[in-house]
Amino acid sequence: MKLLAIESSCDETAAAVVEDGRRVLSSVIASQVQAHIVYGGVVPEIASRMHTEAISGVVREAMQQAGLTFTDLDGVAVTAAPGLIGALLVGVNYAKGLAYAAGLPLIPVHHLRGHIAANYITDPALAPPFLALVVSGGHSHIVAVRDYTDFQVIGRTQDDAAGECMDKSARAMGLPYPGGVNLDRVSAEGDPSAYALPHPRVDGRAYDFSFSGLKTAVINTIHNAKQKGEAVSVPDLGAALIETVADCLVGNTMAAAEAFGFDRIVLAGGVSANSRLRRRMTAACEATGRRLWMPRLDLCGDNAAMIGAQGYYEAQSGHFAGLELNAFATMPIDAAEFGETRSN
């Protein structure tokens, strides 16, 4: 099954052709990073406009790279939730028009399910069940993946996501957008013990996260130093922040794996590219005898190949949609499927 996949949930306009959920025939990404740097973050209105301008060309290039025409396709997969609503609508409406014109099935895909599916491309031998830690700018979830379309949320953030905490802290440190990437780079040689930061916990919810207080602690550290005329070591403070975030993410994930009996762990999402988190998760799995999967670095960020990978399994489960498909800014990963469930 060959699927054209479209991703436009934030500031990347992406298209890919994926065969049978594992083989990437083409993958094209148009990044908007340079347009948003001046604002220190993504401006939704600008993102939507740039998606509109780029999407036709990106799809055309993906099809050319794959050496296919639309008659060679078996369906169109598209990110329909969650994300910036205006950005999502560009991709969803383009996909609906294309599917209708070409007479192809339309397959809506949850963005976070796509991030998990990036690991199927990285290692075609991987199959559920496993426990997934999904961390990105807007999401921090521990998810039991019982089958390709069967998900159970075990833990989640109660406020800021890990990526949001790092992005906003990086901005407070004076680092340019995208904050998380630059923070990882700058803090590579930093001393994580140079600053003492709190390790937030959620009372009564052992597997949930809370990062808003950690972000506030970093900002207060910077403000207090300025008031005293003291210099802040960005590499050290950045290293302390990432190490603390990793403590929370890895600790809760390992606790959930032990409690729910998982010996296979999958890391996914944009923050899965963070070098310290990858090292910490690797060490934790080695220490406990668990096996770990992590996506290739080029598949950690938003891309359409991961949407095509998950789209294949959604189609195999009969999860299709018609022209009534809408986009949703928020939607739980374990929510009922979009549209209708039917054979195609």
For CA atoms 33, 38, 42, 48, give the dihedral sign.
negative
- pLDDT at residue 337, as a whole number: 67
- Cβ atoms of residues 210 and 157 within 8 Å: yes
Q: Which amino acid is at 190?
A: G
Per-residue pLDDT tens for 199-236?
988 999 999 999 999 999 999 999 999 999 999 999 99
Residue 338, pLDDT score = 65
Domain(s) labelled CATH 3.30.420.40 in the chain stretch across: 2-116+300-341, 129-295
Distance CA 168, CA 187 (A): 15
Q: Under CATH, which number does the domain 2-116+300-341 receive?
A: 3.30.420.40
Would you say 99 and 344 are in contact if contact means Cβ atoms under 8 Å apart?
A: no
Structural class in CATH, domain 129-295: alpha beta
Distance CA 236, CA 247 (A): 16
* Residues in the chain with pLDDT values less than 50: 340-344
Alpha-carbon distance 65 to 278, whole Å? 32
Q: What is the pLDDT of residue 343?
A: 41
Residues 271 and 268: their CA atoms lie apart, in Å, by 8
Q: Are 226 and 255 in contact (CB under 8 A)?
A: no
Q: Can you give the pLDDT at residue 278?
A: 98
Global pTM? 0.95
* pLDDT at residue 335, as a whole number: 85
